[in-house]
Amino acid sequence: MMNRSIDSFFRRLFIVVGMVVAVFLLYLMMPVIVPFVFAFVLAYLFNPLVKRLSKYIRRWIAIIIVYATITLGMVLLLWWLIPTLWHQLQAAWEYLPKVLNWYNEVVRDWFTNNSRIRLPELEAKGFSETLVEYMQTNYKFEDASTMMSQIIASSMNFINNAGLIVLVPILTFYFLFNWDQRLQTWKMAIPAPYCHKVVEIAQECDRALMAFIKGQLLVMVLLGAIYAVQLQLIGLELGLIIGMVAGIASFVPYLGFGIGFIAAIIACLFQFGLNWTYLSLIVGAFLVGQAAEGYILQPLLLGDKIGLSPLWVIFAVLAGASLLGFVGMLIALPVSAVLNVLFHHLYDYYRSTDLYKGRKQLTLFDKK
């Protein structure tokens, strides 16, 4: 009987075509895959707490208790925040006429006196007309029927997205319920000679990620509180919102400081005018926040969890932003923590090779 073998070219071609088709299918299924990925991340974050509680009660009860605790905490937080935020949003809306007056009286006059640029005058009553004109220009609403069809289509998209959002807690529950069994299944799929090393690397990545995430969340909360309390004590009406946004944005290095500082200066100019006392107090508040973050919060709560120098941190954030935009900025540091663990293991392996010890050379450098 003749042995028939597939030509190596066609075998490689088949593999490449299969990979291209798989990537294309993943791209088409991205709206479905995203909720599963998000649910898996949430399950990874909640699993340590569920695991502790499951030592005393059934695991499904522990999951429900965690869900209920998080929901109750969010409700109480919103119950306290919404009235204050609503008041500050109303105050921010009342600044619109002041912004327009500042634009018309300061910005327009400066450009008129110092350049050939002639900026148009803005009025609050013209905003609605400008909005309608923008909608007609960009969305081409020729009549009411086309406008209603666009609204219905947008509503359907919103309903679909809302359905996926509701699906995330359910998926997270199932991920959490079978978490240990799923990890054991993945572990059994690893080839036996490499199982110990792969598990060791995975555990180090897990420790680095969890330590970083817990520390970073605490830094965000405490830094936001520091900014908000200082700005409220100074008397800035939008101090709570600006402080909270600055604390949340501090997940990306230097972004929270930049956004909060610029927003606070602008709000101060509109509320107090060019008052050097208040401007100095705001500058001092953000300097205090930066000092607290750099010398107290990060050393105590984060320490050297990632193991990267400030230069590499900045590079990682910029690289993430370049590759994936804002999402890339958010995941840059956690991904860097994992890559740092992998690099150290790769470097240790390289130092154990005969090539590093000088016992062997690459073929390119062999003496003939």
Question: Tens-digit pLDDT profile for the chain (368 aa)?
Answer: 455 566 677 778 888 898 999 999 988 888 788 888 888 888 998 998 898 898 888 888 999 998 899 889 888 877 877 776 677 667 666 666 666 776 777 777 777 777 776 666 666 555 555 555 555 555 554 544 554 555 555 555 555 566 667 788 888 999 988 888 888 888 888 888 888 888 888 888 888 888 888 888 888 889 989 998 998 888 887 788 888 888 888 887 778 888 889 888 888 877 776 678 888 999 999 999 888 887 787 777 765 666 677 777 778 878 888 887 777 877 888 888 888 888 888 888 888 887 777 766 656 555 55
pLDDT at 80: 75
Residue 98 CA: distances (Å) to CA of 124, 151, 269, 340: 10, 33, 10, 50
Encode 212-247: b = buried (16+ Cβ within 10 Å), e = exposed.
bbebbeebbebbbebbbebbbebebbbbbbbbbbbb
pLDDT at 305: 64
Q: Which two tokens stand for residue 332?
A: 């840059």
Chain centroid to CA 104: 37
pTM score, whole prediction: 0.66
The half-sphere exposure of 235 on its side-chain side, counting CA atoms within 13 A, is 10
Q: Which two tokens stand for residue 302?
A: 């984060």
- Give the Cα separation of 98 and 343 in Å (integer): 54
- Give the Cα separation of 260 and 267 in Å (integer): 10
**Tokens 């370049």 belong to residue:** 322
pLDDT at 20: 92
Q: Are 263 and 242 in contact (CB under 8 A)?
A: yes
- Give the Cα separation of 340 and 205 in Å (integer): 9
pLDDT at 144: 47
Hey, how many other C-beta atoms are within 10 angstroms of the C-beta on 108?
17
**Tokens 């640029």 belong to residue:** 117
pLDDT at 296: 80
Closest Cα partner for 307 from 341, 273, 279?
341
Hey, how many other C-beta atoms are within 10 angstroms of the C-beta on 86?
10
Q: Are 248 and 224 in contact (CB under 8 A)?
A: yes
Q: Which two tokens stand for residue 10?
A: 């066609």
Q: Which two tokens stand for residue 360?
A: 């062997």
- Give the Cα separation of 107 and 101 in Å (integer): 9
- Give the Cα separation of 149 and 239 in Å (integer): 41
